[in-house]
């Protein structure tokens, strides 16, 4: 295949899949570079990169990508933060909407929920740590429902398996049957940074670096904002 027309392949976690799908289309149309991203559970995608999966660009939570860089699976010099995502609370559409003005409101919402859905990955880990910090780990332990890797937490709301969900805004916004209440308040806020890097397995690291630069462009910032994230200020 002619290098100019070679498709750049990417791997990403689910939280950024919609941003990357729109950016891939933009890059193809505006810059003539064919790009395709495959999304999956962040832990599983990181393991695939570790196992030598074919690809050019990886976009994952910054902690996961830093580990891959330290292990030599992505090129450390290319690692760059891209977008920040807030964890939000959501309920089924039509359900009572809890207040989230402060920590007391969040505690009341958690204690009032029958089942609380959350995700795998860094946001899920941070949520469990927050619940422990609030002293609610024992009280809420049996009510916590973790969505399987790669499964949107919002589906647990629409299926009736949970009546409160906490996950990245990008994962919960615009889902039919789901109402986003808002970000967690004050010092309980949880934010995750997603970073990109050129994979060590890339056959075309120069083009991969170009695509990575385009992900961090003004167009990337605008698309990220529309999908519930904000660009990292560098």
- According to DSSP, residue 2 is labeled -
Q: CA-CA distance, 13 to 199, in Å (whole number)?
A: 15
Please give the model's pTM, rounded to 2 decimal places.
0.84
Give the CA distances from residue 78 to residues 119, 162, 200, 221, in Å, rounded to whole numbers and listed in that order.
28, 40, 10, 19
First to last CA, the chain: 35
Tell me if 156 sits within 8 A of 145, measured CB to CB: yes
Answer whether 3-83+194-231 and 85-188 agree in fold: yes
Mean pLDDT of 218-233: 92
CATH architecture of 3-83+194-231: 3-Layer(aba) Sandwich (3.40)
Spatial contact of 94 and 152, defined as CB atoms under 8 Å apart = no
Task: Give the whole-angstrom CA distance, residue 27 versus residue 182.
Answer: 31
Class of domain 85-188: alpha beta
What pLDDT digit, counting tens, does each position of 145-198 carry? Answer: 999 877 889 999 999 999 999 998 988 988 899 999 999 999 999 998 999 999
Q: For the residues 201-210, what does the mean pLDDT come to? A: 96
In the beta sheet, which residues pair with residue 167? 88
Q: What is the pLDDT of residues 39-50, one digit of tens each?
A: 988 889 999 999
Q: Which residues contact 114 (CB under 8 A, 6 or more apart)?
A: 143, 162, 163
Q: Are 179 and 91 in contact (CB under 8 A)?
A: yes
Domain ranges of the chain: 3-83+194-231, 85-188
Cβ-contact 165, 183 below 8 angstroms: no
Summarize pLDDT for 116-145 with one digit per residue, the tens.
999 887 888 899 999 999 999 999 999 999
| Tokens 């292990």, residue located | 71
CB-side neighbour CA atoms (13 Å) of 65: 25
């Amino acid at each position: 295949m002619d290098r100019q027309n070679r498709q750049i392949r990417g791997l990403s976690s689910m939280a950024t899949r919609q941003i990357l799908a729109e950016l891939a289309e933009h890059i193809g149309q505006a810059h003539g570079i064919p790009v395709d991203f495959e999304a999956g559970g962040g832990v599983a995608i990181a393991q695939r990169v570790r196992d030598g999966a074919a690809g050019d660009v990886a976009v994952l939570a910054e902690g996961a990508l830093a580990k891959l860089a330290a292990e030599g699976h992505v090129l450390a010099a290319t690692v760059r933060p891209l977008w920040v995502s807030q964890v939000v609370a959501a309920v089924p559409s039509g359900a009572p909407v809890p207040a989230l003005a402060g920590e007391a409101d969040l505690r009341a919402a958690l204690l009032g929920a029958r089942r609380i859905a959350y995700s795998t990955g860094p946001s899920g880990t941070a949520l469990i740590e927050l619940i422990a910090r609030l002293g609610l780990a024992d009280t809420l332990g049996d009510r916590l429902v973790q969505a399987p890797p790669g499964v949107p937490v919002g589906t647990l709301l629409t299926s009736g398996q949970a009546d409160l969900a906490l996950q990245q805004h990008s994962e919960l916004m615009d889902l039919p049957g789901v109402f986003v209440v808002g970000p967690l308040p004050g010092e309980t806020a949880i934010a995750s940074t997603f970073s990109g890097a050129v994979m060590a397995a890339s056959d075309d690291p120069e083009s991969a670096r170009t695509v990575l630069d385009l992900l961090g462009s003004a167009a990337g910032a605008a698309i990220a904002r529309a999908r519930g994230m904000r660009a990292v200020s560098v």
